Amino acid sequence: MILTIVVINVVYVSVFTIRLIFVMKSYRTLASLLSMFEVLVYLVGLNIVLDNIDNPFNLAAYCIGFGAGVYMGSKIEEWLALGYITAQIVVDNESSKLIAVLREKGFGVTSWLADGKDGHRLVMQVLAKRSNEKKLLNTINEVAPKAFYISHEPRFFKGGFWTRRLR
């Protein structure tokens, strides 16, 4: 019974986490369908716990399953890597070959010159699929190991390299 409660809660919370991410990424239909399965699993698990509420091990199993489900859901989301990242990369002028290397690897790069504390810098902005972020980071570390790197997830984008490629 205890193992069943843990497994049910891991499944429930993992699905809950993925559903929430689908909603945030505007996959509304998929999120709606997933929510039906999520609530079924939740009600089955809750019913088991409430029928045996006097057993503290069942409550502990519920809590352990919940925590493990949060972890599992975040790992699944990381594996799915839905969406895109926008990376801003700042390098010194000697690392300007990074632009060509990134473009050779299929990344769209917009660059401009900027002034930093220690002189002129080259700033690049790159839009990439989240599933390619590690490839991007590895390339940056190989070509310009002292680069400054910031990434975030854009919610919308229009025009440019990616929209032409997506058509």
- Domain boundaries defined on the chain: 2-80, 84-166
pLDDT reading at 161 higher than 80: no
- Identify the helix (H) or strand (E) that includes residue 85: strand 84-92
Q: In whole numbers, what is the pLDDT of the chain averaged over residues? A: 87
Taking Cα atoms as reference points, which of 47, 85, 45 lies closest to residue 61? 45
pLDDT digits (tens, 9 = 90+) for 122-132: 999 998 888 89
- Give the pLDDT of residue 164: 53
- Give the pLDDT of residue 132: 92
Q: What is the DSSP string of 104-123?
A: HTT-EEEEEEEEETTEEEEE
Taking Cα atoms as reference points, which of 17, 16, 10, 5 lies closest to residue 60? 5
CA geometry: angle at 5 spanning 57 and 60, to 5°? 30
pLDDT digits (tens, 9 = 90+) for 57-98: 888 998 999 999 999 998 998 888 888 889 999 998 766 799
pLDDT digits (tens, 9 = 90+) for 7-37: 998 999 999 999 998 888 888 999 999 999 9
Span 84-166: which CATH code? 3.30.70.120
